[in-house]
Structure 1
Amino acid sequence: MLRRLITASLSCFMLLTSAVYAATQPSEQALVASQSAMLVDLDTGKTLYAEAPNLVTPIASVSKLMTALVVLDAGLPLNERITVDVSQSPMMQNVVSRIRLGSNLTRKEALSLALMASENRAATTLAHHYPGGYQAFVKAMNAKAKALGMNNSMFEEPTGLSPHNVSTAADLIKLLIALKKYPVIGELSVAKNRSVTFHKPRYSMAFYNTNPLVNRKGWHISLTKTGYTDEAGHCLAMLTKMGNRNVAFVALDSFGKYTHIADANRLKLWLTTGKSNRVPAEALQYKMNKRAEHAQQVGKQQLAIP
C-alpha cells in the first residue's frame, strides 16, 4: 500500500512539473533546448520568454559575474598588482591552469581573464586579495545575492566549479540587470581576446573569449558569461540585442557543446521573424530525461519530510 502511495505521489508530481514546464511555452513555439531559460526586455521589463525560470540548478562559471561584482563593490584599485594564489580554496587544489602560482598581474587583468576566458585561478586570486580574505569574499557574494533579491541562489566559492553554486534563470536576470551599473564588467567580458604579461616570473600569454557570439556579425553584446561543468551543463548569460530590443538572456543546463549558443540564435530569430528553428530531437530527449530526474529528486525530498 505504501509503495503504491509513493508511486502515485511521484507520478502526480511529475505530471504537475510537466504541466508547469508546458505552460511556459509561448504560442509561437520558440522552443529552447536548455533546461531553463529566460529572456527579458530591458526597456520595458517585460518577460518575452520563460521556461522553468525558477528551476534551481548549478550555474558553473556564470558565478564569475557575481565574483566581478563583489570585487568592484569593494572599491579595490584595479591597477594594483596581485599575486596568483589559490591556497585558501579547497576546490582549486587539483585544478590545472596556464597561469603560474606565485606570479602576479593587475586586478583588472585578473577580472578580464575571469570574465572573458573563464580563468579559474584568476577568479580565485581575486577572492584571496579581498579584505578579510577568501571566506569573507564568499560571504560577500551571498550577501550581495540576498540584497539583489536572488532568493534561490547560493555561492560556495568564486569560480563556479562547485555544484553548490546554484541559481535560477530568474535570479540571474536580476543579476544581469544589476550589472548594467558596472560598465567595466561588460567591457571586459565582451573582449574577443587579451594578451597578459605576468611578472615574477615574467611571461606573456594570449586568452580568448569563451562565447563565440562575440565574433559573429549581427550580434551586439554588451555583457556575457558562459559556464560549463558536468553538473551544470552548458550555461550562458548575456546583455545583448535581439530583434531591435535590448534584452537580458539566460540559458542554463544546455545539451551539447553549442546548444546554449543555438538557443540564443533561436530566440533572436523568433523575436526578429516570429519563427524559430527546431530543437534537435536528441536535445529534447536529454531535456525531458533531466526533467523527469529532477521531478523524482524533488518528489523524494518531499516524501522524506516528516
Structure 2
Amino acid sequence: MLKRLLTATVCCLILVSTAIQAASKLPTTEQAMASQSAMLVDLDSGKTIYAEAPNLITPIASVSKLMTALVVLDAGLPLNESITVDVSQSPIMQNVVSRIRLGSTLTRKEALALALMASENRAATTLAHHYPGGFKGFVAAMNAKAKALGMHNSHFEEPTGLSSHNISTAADLIKLVKAIQHYPLIGELSTASSRSVTFQQPRYSLAFYNTNPLVNRKSWKIQLTKTGYTDDAGHCLVMITKMGARNVAFVALDSFGKYTHIADATRLKRWLTSGKTTKVPDDALTYKRQKRLQREQLAAPQENMLAVP
C-alpha cells in the first residue's frame, strides 16, 4: 500500500514538473515584429521574453498619458473635485480640436478616465492645469517621476504626447508599467470599453470609446492599456495582459499602419502560446527598413564629427 502511494506521489510530481517546464518553455523560432521597437516581459519572473531595439529612443505619442495619470494620483488631489476644462498654458494645444468644450467642468476622475481610455487631449491638459504649480509644475513632476523610476532615456514636454519631444524607450516604458501595477485605478480606467460623461456649465453629455479594440475581445484579458499615435511616433501600444499562463507587460513603438501595433501584440501572443510564427506584411517591413535607414543616416554625421581628431 505504501509502495503504491509513493509511486502515485512520484508520478504526480513528474506531471507537475513537466507542466511547469512546458509552461516556461519558449518557442525556438523567434517571431518577427512590424514595430520599430518592441518588448515583452514576464511580470511574475521579471524575465524578458522578447526584445527588439528595446533601448531605441523614439517619440511615444499618447503613451505619455500613463505618466500623466501617475503624476495626478501621486499628488493625492480629490478625484471627485470638479475642474474646468482649460488648455491656456499649453502652446501645443492651441489649435487642437476636441468635442469637449473649453470652460465646461467635469470631475478629476472623469478627466483621468477620458485621458486614459479615449486618449482625450483636452482632458489630459486640464489635469495638468489643475495641478499645484500649474502646467509647468506638472511637466516638471513628470520628468522627476521618470528619473525616480530609472527611466533615464525618457523626457516629457507636455502631458498629452502631441509633442515629438515626449520621448522614451520600450525598456523605460516597461519600468513605467511595473510602477503602474501599484495604481489599480489606472488599470481600471484604461481598460473600460466605453464611458459616458456629463459635463456642466453648460450641461451636455458625450460618449467615449476605448482606443484599443482588444479590450472588447473575450480572448484577451487586459489589465492596463494605452495606445498612441502621431506622424513622428507612429502607432504605439502598451499593455499589461495575459499571454497563455503568463502575466506580461508588452510595449510596441512606431508601428506602421492603423492596426499594426495590435497585430504585433496578437503575433506575440500566438507565438508564445503555440510556438507558431505569423508573417509580417511586406509594406510594414518596408516601412521598418526605411525608418531604420533614416536613423542610420542621421547618426552617421554625428559619428563622423566625433571621429575627427
- 1:264 maps to 2:247: no
Post-superposition Cα deviations, 1:19-50, rounded to whole Å, max 9, x if no partner, equal xxxxxxx8512111000000000000000000
Partner letter of residue 40 of structure 1? V
Q: Corresponding residue for 1:215?
A: 216
3-state SS in 1 of match to 2:50:
strand
CA distance in 2, matches of 1:61, 1:270: 27
Q: Which amino acid aligns with 1:218?
A: S
Moved more, 26-35 or 230-239: 26-35
- Partner in structure 2 of residue 68 of structure 1: 69
Number of the residue aligned with 1:244: 245
TM-score (ref. length: structure 1): 0.91
The answer to whether residue 145 in structure 2 is matched with residue 144 in structure 1 is yes
Q: Deviations over 1:103-159 (max 9, x none)?
A: 000000000000000000000000000001000000000000000000000000000
Q: Which residue of structure 2 aligns with residue 96 of structure 1? A: 97
Question: 1:65-117 deviations in whole A, cap 9, x for unaligned?
Answer: 00000000000000000000000000000000000000000000000000000
Q: Determine the C-alpha separation between the residues in 2 that align with 1:184 and 1:200.
A: 27
Aligned to 1:23: none
Matches within 5 A, 1:1-306: 27-305=28-306
Is the deviation greater in 26-35 or in 146-155?
A: 26-35
Q: What's the TM-score, normalizing by structure 2?
A: 0.90
Any unmatched runs of 5+ in structure 2? 1-26
- Tell me the secondary structure at the aligned position of residue 265 of structure 1: helix
Residue 299 of structure 1 deviates from its aligned partner by 1.8
SS at match of 1:206: strand
- TM-superposed deviation, 1:295: 1.2
Q: Provide Cα deviations, 1:279-298, integer angstroms capped at 9, x if missing partner.
A: 00111111011011111112
Match of 2:23 in 1: none
Give the secondary structure class of the aligned counterpart of 2:83. Answer: strand
Tell me if the contact between 2:28 and 2:275 (Cα under 8 Å) persists in the aligned partners.
no
Report sequence identity in percent. Answer: 77
Q: What SS class does the counterpart of residue 97 from structure 1 fall into?
A: coil
- Shift of the alpha carbon at 1:244? 1.4
Q: Distance in 1 between matches of 2:183 and 2:301?
A: 42
Aligned length: 281
| 2-structure distance, mates of 1:38, 1:99 | 35
Let me know the Cα RMSD of the aligned residues: 0.9
Larger radius of gyration: 2
Tell whether the 8 Å contact from 2:194 to 2:208 is kept in structure 1 after alignment: yes
State how far apart, in whole Å, the 2-side matches of 1:247 and 1:104 are: 37
Structure 2: how far apart are the matches of 1:295 and 1:43? 36
Alignment partners' CA distance in 1, 2:45 and 2:256: 31
- State the distance in 2 between where 1:248 and 1:57 align: 19
Partners of 1:135 and 1:184 lie apart in 2 by 25
Whole-angstrom CA distance in 2 between matches of 1:203 and 1:288: 47
Q: Distance between the aligned counterparts of 2:298 and 2:304, measured in 1?
A: 10
The one-letter code matched in structure 2 to 1:155 is F
Rounded to whole Å, the distance in 2 between the matches of 1:37 and 1:243 is 19
Question: What is the distance in 2 between the residues matched to 1:102 and 1:300?
Answer: 48
Provide Cα deviations, 1:211-240, integer angstroms capped at 9, x if missing partner. Answer: 000001210000000000000000000000
Q: How far 1:302 sits from its partner (Å)?
A: 2.6
Shift of 1:303: 2.5
- Structure 1: 5+ residue runs without aligned partners? 1-25
Moved more, 199-208 or 276-285: 276-285
SS at match of 2:175: helix
Instruction: Name the CA distance, whole Å, in 2 between partners of 1:227 and 1:276.
Output: 26
8 Å Cα contact 2:34/2:280 also seen in 1? yes
Deviations 1:146-198 (A, max 9, x none): 00000000000000000000000000000000000000000000000000000
**Separation of aligned partners in 2, 1:206 and 1:84:** 17
Amino acid at match of 2:36: Q
